[in-house]
Amino acid sequence: MSARYGMVIDLDRCTGCGSCMVACAAENNVPPPVPRATPRTGLTPMLVRKLSNGKDGADLREAFIPITCMQCEHETPCVSVCPQQAVEVDKSTGIVMQIPQRCLGCRYCMTACPYHARYFNWWDPQWPPGMEKSLNPGVSVRMRGVVEKCNLCHARFHTANEKAAAAGKTQIDPADYVPACVEACPTGAILFGDLADANDPVSTAAHSPDAFRLLARIGTEPKIHYRTTQAWIRTLADKNSDRPTEAQHV
């Protein structure tokens, strides 16, 4: 039976602390930025953006939206443009998998991605001397000139799968496979699970009336869902998703 891993991110619970961004970078051996890196050229496979209603004084309201690879299920834009077959939608998990070692750095996928969730390694990944000892052995370090993105912490899937195999099971224990951002969220705003399993809480949440997907109208069927009870957040989230770095005002 094949799984469809996805998330429901509760925007009403997100405080914009950024724990998910740091935990993601640490888990996936994302290097610290070079001094001249900017939000445009940085590497943030998980990125929290600020949403603001742009009003003055006491009417100003802000919310935060974590943006990661949306794991598009249908006509996945990055897969269809890659000349290298460096991206594929995994049949058994539904994860949009990026193999940086195969990437030739043309960045078609970055242009094609409607969510700006892909990042280019503009510089050699470098850590201060000695800090390479803190690298996660489950994830290989990328190199300059390739594109990377969220693989839903695939190293953790490997670990869970290996554990299941050792126990003689064919299915992983859902408790063993939790991406770093989900684990790090202090308010439990990110719900992660198998959308193909109707009993999984993530399936129920994805079908609730408060749930929505970014740019649902273009039909890529992302497996990252959002939810909020606030209409203004919902409107802004969708508008903001095609602005790569700046907070969008209405």
Q: Does 48 engage in binding with other proteins (CB under 8 A)?
A: yes
* Residue of 83, 129, 209, 219 that binds other proteins (CB under 8 A): 129
Cβ(149)–Cβ(98) below 8 Å:
yes
Q: Does 201 engage in binding with other proteins (CB under 8 A)?
A: no
Residue with smaller CB distance to other proteins, 73 or 90:
90
Write out the binding residues for other proteins, residues 62-121 only, by CB under 8 A.
62-64, 88, 90-93, 95, 97, 99, 101-102
What the block records as the tokens of 206 is: 């994805």
End-to-end CA distance of the chain: 44
How far from the centroid of its chain's Cα atoms is residue 169's Cα?
28
Residue with smaller CB distance to other proteins, 150 or 195:
150
Write out the binding residues for other proteins, residues 143-182 only, by CB under 8 A.
143, 151, 154-155, 158-159, 161-168, 170, 180
Q: Does 134 engage in binding with other proteins (CB under 8 A)?
A: yes
Q: Does 26 engage in binding with other proteins (CB under 8 A)?
A: yes
Number of residues engaging other proteins in binding (CB under 8 A): 92
SS3 label, residue 88: strand
Alpha-carbon distance 177 to 159, whole Å? 8
Q: Does 38 engage in binding with other proteins (CB under 8 A)?
A: yes
Alpha-carbon distance 24 to 30, whole Å? 8
Residue with smaller CB distance to other proteins, 58 or 198:
58
Residue with smaller CB distance to other proteins, 158 or 218:
158
Cβ(30)–Cβ(46) below 8 Å:
no
What the block records as the tokens of 4 is: 């469809």
Q: Does 15 engage in binding with other proteins (CB under 8 A)?
A: yes
Alpha-carbon distance 215 to 235, whole Å? 11
